[in-house]
Structure 1
């Protein structure tokens, strides 16, 4: 850079000096020029007459000053052009020289260069890159854990399906399998949808087992039974009623009710299902004040609709997961709901329910009898709220039908 500056200084000194030599301007008239004359003795040879120049000689003497004048004009134009070019070069070189000096002394630096030349800028860049790397490593670890967890879910789900195909009773899952499955909403919902299909195929068998044919209208028959295969006690509720509404209106009413619009706390809809029209999957949280604290239950619900001939069946699969002091107290519920027109369709529609609820207790759950009673009492309160909502909806349907 010092060499460049020295060169620019020399150019500036050269341009500051007398840049062009003085030019002697030739004479413009023939009178000012020296005229070649013949010797007197030669003139005397023409019989004493005055000598007169030949016309061609005069023409030659006239053209010569003209050519010189043209050369002078071209020369002036060239000199003027070169002088202008040199002045322009002087300005450019002066400007570049000043820019180099200003840049070296930091007087004329743009903002981005200032930032790049500052140590704090590079420190900030290094810190930002380190944070980005740490975030990427954290995200990678999370994804790796998720992949491993998903692999375990798939493995256990395949085992569950395989076991279910080889046995006629599938009301409970193993302790370890539930512990892994319930941490993933997606796999729980997929498992419930498959269970809904499985239990729908057994609806006639279940209704025969619970005595639905002999069940009296408007009565609720509740019993506690023990599965002969799993030795797990479960609660069974059977109910049959006649609704004074047309079959189509009742089916529409019941299916809309599966959306449970009155449950909105921490509500999430799972829409990644194959048959969106006939499947609903969601989760929401139930809360209750208990003493000076609040307890909660996370509830996942899957409703699936089957319509064959003059009969619609809605399968409900519900998994209630205790939280906080209720942690480890989970409940699995399966509900069969059959809707069909009465033999005398003018009477309305027959609706038949069968619900089976069984606990899913983990070996790791450490609960007292009082905590278990509070948990069961909260589930009973939730069931009563659902019944009241159903009754209110039926009353509104009756008013709208009149």
Structure 2
């Protein structure tokens, strides 16, 4: 039994062959000329047969048959009959080709439908064989939705971190505003003679800032024991340790930590006097202004100065530092606490940093220092 593909191929070949013969052998060719001659003779014979008078006369005298004389009208009738025969033949062939073409199109449609049915049957059979693949489209859709959700969560975390950073920045600005409000209080507590002397050329904003820093030293003293124990300084070996600490939520740098532990070959009194002398920062004299008119001036230092540096590129930059320090002499130890607020100038304008330091001096158990 022939398949649908073989039938389609045979029909296409037949149609191409019919077109080929029509194109290669037109009616004016020698092949059709011979056919016309034979058809003309056939038409003449046909006319002879259709003429009963001639047939009867011919049969009456068979020994002397008269010659067949065809007139011009008879030839015209023969040509007309031949042309009609040709037109009928052409019409028949055209109908046959159209019928074959329609059948070919029908077979092609049937072939496409059967091919689609075969594919569906194969897919159904494969799905029955491996049911897990039936849900692959849902799995792919779930994975796509999960990726979108993860991107949304990442964007949400980023926006949350940005909002928290802005909150911290706003809090810092509020702190600066509160520090400037101390100017009026400072003018009432500091003697007018101290402010007007040439030795203390500090503006009201500077005095407000220094006063605010001094007020923050008291709370720092209350937590010195827990702080030094928490950072491991009592058990730390002699030397210097630097570390950086980061915010868990935003991932930004929270603060730098510098731990120093030394043994001085002096008694406690000599050591604390030397250390307190270092708190005067005599090396900073550029635009220096001392502020000694508040509280315990013997154990308090408040000053402002400018630090100028030259970068590797040759540019000169500067920052302004406001520093306060206070000494607390106790029975078996001496505690020093300092705070520094640094503001950038020039290309560093708008940048600032805060520093808080604790020092703790005590006698060694063996009395060696």
Question: Common fold, TM-score beyond 0.5?
Answer: no
TM-score by length of 1: 0.41
Structure with bigger helix share is 2
Question: Which of the two has higher C-alpha Rg?
Answer: 2
- The structure with higher relative contact order (CA 8 Å, sep 6+) is 1
TM-score by length of 2: 0.45
